[in-house]
Structure 1
């Protein structure tokens, strides 16, 4: 009896792992988890990306980002539910990007359709369950996310691949589409 239970449990466990990789086309938001960053929401002003309270940025274009997968890209727009129509930031449908392999840059950012994508990677973003990865050129899933504190307490700049970044204070991150249980 014990061996049948064990076999059934292992089969269910392995099938759950195999099906954990998802390719949802539903809109979602991203939250960062790391030392001192307990599920902070990703926000942007349509360029660089940050975690924390967007209102502390003192920037009328700053907003929490809602992502929509589209043709292999992740398009980001301000979360319109937190603004009145007259206060909505002017940017929308910007392409999420990380620096290309071998790049000396580390900035995770959004690119408008009028900007060049040279030197950045704009495809390959994927979920494994609720965790966010980038599928590298070798086909492996990579999670090289990290954050740097900004001059504003509680706001952290999102970066990619610590290799070659000698900046102090790096915080390794896990990115998820799951908000923290204490999210407002």
Structure 2
């Protein structure tokens, strides 16, 4: 079932709750389209081909880390950098995590985090000595480098979709799948 067709049908209803459902589906569709246009986004047709570096940071409220997509900060954050090479994603992560503007809270704790949980660890990642690193205790820190997938995901599971009462609703039309690079044109 295609979301574009479903939304057009639901919006013609006289019932405001059904029209609201159509708007919610249309919003999910717009988010999927915007994500598909950003190659670093999981919704992109190229995301599976990218290198990734993930940092999970729990600071026990000793300091706070800024989320990448907003100005909000948290004591329990998940961050991801996506790029074309191992070096690229590690450099992006290091640049973000050493920028003091991406933290709030105790300056002493932030400096301790940078000195003890970044500099030497990231050098090991850069050299290719490790692909994963974690530390527990007062602060739980997990870093992982992920190579691109070696094969393209199965398209039926890969295309942006939502499930509604057990029914799969594809968020993109066939033309949009071609335009956004999920499938090749049949011409």
Instruction: Give the TM-score range, shorter chain.
Output: under 0.3
TM-score (norm 1): 0.27
Richer in helix (by share) = 2
Richer in strand (by share) = 1
